[in-house]
Amino acid sequence: MPDPLTLDIKDLRLSFKNWSGTTEVLHGIDLRIAPGERVALVGESGSGKSVTSRIVLGTMQDVRTARVTGQVAFEGQDLSALTSSDRRALRGRDISMIFQDPTSALNPVFRIGELFQEVLKRRDPKVTKGEARAQAAKILHEVSIEDTDRVLDSYSFQLSGGMNQRVMIAMALINEPRLLLADEPGTALDVTVQAQTLAMMRDLVVQQGTSVLFISHNLGVVREFADRIYVIYQGRIVEHGATKELFDAPRHPYTRALLSAIPRLTGGGVPDIAERSPDFDDPFVDHAEVR
């Protein structure tokens, strides 16, 4: 079999059981990521992008009220067919994740060094404190942290948000996973710090050849980072294409609305876009097929 896709999602549906029956929130998502490819999933709050990442991570399948159907294949292996503990075995080793707010995601009662050791134990349960420290220091250097001893001996609340973000990127990539999920990375930080850390993250994943599913509500952030973009609206993919194509010639009305929402340095204030518009429900546009 020639080099299977890192991630191959077909007709993914998610619904939640509640007192009045079931509510479907994802209505058939298709999404592919090739090895080493950086793909963004962009949409507004509540569009279903975060739950998609939790399904790929394999934690949503364990939620008792959630029902997941369709195929989510990681390197040819359907995650939904695996047991909960087999899915767990993939996490932290083959699939890793970066969270929105680094300071609250890093556990406040452990030192950064201890957290690194915990993560390294996922790959090698017998890793010693010294080995873990050396490996952690090495990868911290790659995200431009120089005083690694101080950082490793600190608690997350003693470091700045930008520092924690770099720590989290380093932690997510230290086991050289094959797929990195980045859920709104750095949204809790200010824009310049966010841009810096994203550039570091890009360098590191390019170097390691990691595939990335980058989740964001901000097309502007994604532009520098992703090879391809999927735009998601209310649980459906509405447009898909290479980053350049999508920015140069957005064809779906919702994508155009999203693009116009990026603030520009030239001023003009925040554009007035509709909360809902009937043409947002237009059919799926795929640049790859048109081309």
Partner 1 sequence: MSIFRRLLGRLGASLIVLIGVSMLIFFIARIIPGDPARIALGPRATDAQVEQMREALNLNEPIVVQYGLFMGDLVRGDLGISLYSNRPVMTDLVEYLPATLELVLLAGFMMVMIGLPLGAISARYRGRWPDNLVRVISLLAVSAPAFVWAVGLVLVFAYFTPLFPITGRISDTLEVERLTGFMLIDTLAAGRLDAFASALHHLILPAFALALSGIGQAARLTRSNMIATYEQPAIEMAQAYGFSEARIARRYAFKPSLIPSLTIIGLDFAALLGNAFLVEVIFAWPGLSRYGVGVILQKDLNAIVGTVLIISATFLIANIIVDFLVSVLNPRIRFSEDNK
Cβ 30 to partner 1, closest distance in Å? 24
Where do contacts with partner 1 occur on this chain (CB under 8 A)? 57, 59, 88-93, 96-97, 99-101, 104-109, 111, 118-119, 122, 155, 157-158, 181
Of 90 and 222, the one with the shorter C-beta distance to partner 1 is 90
Question: Could you tell me which of 288, 235, 282 has the C-alpha nearest to residue 257?
Answer: 282
Of 90 and 152, the one with the shorter C-beta distance to partner 1 is 90
Cα 208 to Cα 32: distance, rounded to the nearest angstrom? 20
Cβ 288 to partner 1, closest distance in Å? 30
**Helix (H/G/I), strand (E/B), else coil: 171:** helix
Of 181 and 219, the one with the shorter C-beta distance to partner 1 is 181
DSSP conformation letters of 110-154: SBHHHHHHHHHHTT-TT--HHHHHHHHHHHHHHTT---HHHHHTS
Of 161 and 250, the one with the shorter C-beta distance to partner 1 is 161
Cβ 106 to partner 1, closest distance in Å? 7
Cβ 280 to partner 1, closest distance in Å? 30
Structure tokens at 56: 């790929």
Structure tokens at 287: 């640049």
The DSSP element (H or E) to which 55 belongs, if any, is helix 49-57
Cβ 125 to partner 1, closest distance in Å? 12
Of 30 and 101, the one with the shorter C-beta distance to partner 1 is 101
Helix axes 129-142, 191-208, angle to 10 degrees: 110
